[in-house]
Structures are given as structure tokens and as C-alpha cells.
């Protein structure tokens, strides 16, 4: 089944204290839209910038607001394996459905190091894990062979891959499906290429845009579910101006600006990331108005 996992920002003060009222408001919007899952504390949720205690506070509020109606998967990535274990244990104890684990690193990691990292977190936490392949932030790229090895481990249940270019995505899906175990979920991020990944057989869209505009994402995915590829591609093409902003300024900065423009929260990205300039924010506002998103 094709599904949408919506990734909201995590509003916080300059000292890294999560704004629980604003976060609850964001999560409530996703629950109302009936997204298939909520991806809390992903890259859009600024997980590396938050202390363990703040991650716990954010997760508790998200789970409370979701009320069991929508599964919550939560980022548990950390530089150290033991810290990632503790974060995953926290998530399991709180009631998260799964953990999203990225191989966060300073020293470049080898495949064997990443394999052991994942195996340890899965074994010692008991939390189902989704492999988070995000080379743009971790500077580590999962080979298909490594994903295949990890998929054989108990507790490694899914992967979130950056969606390849449209001409390559069908081969990517086919290759992975041939080496992972049955029932292992193949999901994709990179909003601008996600439609082609879903049409090619990807099962989950791990979506930035759904974190603020869930109805828009759900409409697009509904077209895929109904087998209407032309409509899905039309809707995706319509969003091209937003995808251009994501590529130009980063989706993180654009989503913070959008949340501010929508009056959902007044938070800024965690430093040293700076908010968009006045001119860039004007471009975001114009684009969102043109797309009838605000």
C-alpha cells in the first residue's frame, strides 16, 4: 500500500527548548489530515540539534496528540552507538511505532561499522528501525548490498532512501526488492522525485511538504493509489515552483519560513542555520499563494 509519512519541523527556542504548544498544533494538523504516519525528529525536525531530554518531551507530546490514531516514528540518530541505543530505548518506552536511524558521523564510517551500529541499536533497544539513508547530511551512502544485509536482521524493517532521478528510480526499486527480505518496506524521500518512486513500486513517501501541507500530499498519493499516473504527475508538476525553492534554499529553511507565514509558529531554524532572507521569504510567500497553500 502506498503511504504518506509526514515530517514536521520541531519548533524550539534559541536555547533548544521545544515549543510544545506549537508542536502539538503541527501534529494535530497531521492527525486531522489522516496521514499514514508521522516522522518526528527527522532532518526536517532538526533532531541532531536537540538534547535527549528535549527529544523526549517532543515525542511525548506528539504521541499524546496522535492518540494512537496515527503511528509515530521518531529519529534516534546520534554520533555514538550507545547514545543511539538510549534514544531508541526511550522511544520504545514512550510508545513510538519505530525509530528512524541515520549513521550520524564525524569520522567517515565503513559499511561494517554502520552494520554493527544498526545491529546493536536494534538488538539492545527492541525498537523496530527504519534505515535512514541521507547522504546529504551524514555523508554516508548505503549501497544496495548493505541495505540487503541489514534487512535480514531482526528489527530492521524499512528503509528511507533519497529518491533517484525519474529515469533511474524503477531500476532502484527493482534492485532493492530483489535483495531485501519479504515484507521489508521500501520508502523514498526527496519530494520532487517521490511521485516517480511511488509509481515504480515504492511503498512510502517520507514527505517534507506533508509536514505542513498534508492534504496536498495526500491528494497526490491518492492519485497513485488509484492508478492514475497522469494525475499524480500533473499534481507533482504543479508543485514544481515549491520544489525549486526546496532545491535553492533547502526544504528545512523553506518549511520554517512557511510555518511562520501560516502563523503556526514563530520559531527559527537551530543555529548556526540562519532563517531565510527577507527576499527569499518573499519568494516563499509568493509561491505558496500561487499554489493556494496559504
Active-site residue set: 132, 160
Cα distances (angstroms) measured from residue 112 to each of 14, 172, 176, 236, 241: 37, 22, 19, 38, 41
Give the residue from 169, 162, 160 showing the smallest Cα distance to 199: 169
204 — phi, psi (to 5°)? -135, 135
Euclidean distance between CA atoms 237 and 256, whole angstroms: 23
Sign of CA dihedral 150, 154, 155, 160: positive
Q: What is the DSSP string of 125-138?
A: H---EEEE--HHHH
44 annotated among ligand-binding-site residues: yes
Give the position of cell 515504492. 202
Show binding-site residues for pyruvate. 44
Amino acid at each position: 500500500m502506498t503511504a504518506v509519512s509526514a515530517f514536521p519541523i520541531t519548533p524550539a527556542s534559541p536555547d533548544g527548548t521545544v515549543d510544545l504548544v506549537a508542536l502539538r498544533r503541527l501534529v494535530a494538523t497531521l492527525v486531522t489530515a489522516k496521514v499514514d504516519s508521522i516522522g518526528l525528529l527527522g532532518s526536517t525536525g532538526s533532531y541532531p540539534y536537540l538534547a535527549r531530554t528535549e527529544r523526549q518531551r517532543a515525542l511525548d507530546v506528539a504521541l499524546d496528540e496522535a492518540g494512537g490514531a496515527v503511528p509515530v516514528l521518531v529519529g534516534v540518530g546520534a554520533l555514538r552507538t550507545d547514545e543511539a541505543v538510549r534514544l531508541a530505548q526511550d522511544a520504545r518506552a514512550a510508545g513510538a511505532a519505530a525509530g528512524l536511524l541515520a549513521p550520524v558521523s564525524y569520522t567517515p564510517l565503513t559499511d561494517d561499522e554502520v552494520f554493527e551500529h544498526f545491529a546493536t541499536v536494534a538488538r539492545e533497544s527492541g525498537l523496530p528501525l527504519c534505515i535512514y539513508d541521507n547522504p546529504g547530511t551524514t555523508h554516508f551512502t548505503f549501497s544496495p548490498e548493505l541495505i540487503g544485509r541489514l534487512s535480514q536482521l531482526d528489527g530492521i524493517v524499512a528503509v528511507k532512501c533519497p529518491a533517484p532521478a525519474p529515469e533511474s528510480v524503477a531500476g532502484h526499486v527493482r534492485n532493492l526488492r530483489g535483495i531485501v527480505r519479504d515484507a521489508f518496506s521500501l520508502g523514498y524521500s526527496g519530494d520532487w522525485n517521490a511521485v516517480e518512486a511511488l509509481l515504480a513500486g515504492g511503498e512510502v513517501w517520507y514527505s517534507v511538504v506533508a509536514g505542513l501541507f498534508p492534504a496536498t500530499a495526500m491528494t497526490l498519493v491518492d492519485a497513485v493509489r488509484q492508478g492514475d499516473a497522469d494525475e499524480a504527475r500533473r499534481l507533482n508538476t504543479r508543485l514544481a515552483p515549491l520544489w525549486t525553492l526546496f532545491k535553492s534554499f533547502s526544504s528545512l529553511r523553506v518549511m520554517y519560513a512557511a510555518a511562520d507565514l501560516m502563523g503556526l509558529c514563530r520559531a527559527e531554524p537551530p543555529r548556526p542555520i540562519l532563517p531565510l532572507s527577507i527576499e527569499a521569504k518573499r519568494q516563499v510567500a509568493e509561491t505558496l499563494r500561487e499554489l493556494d497553500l496559504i
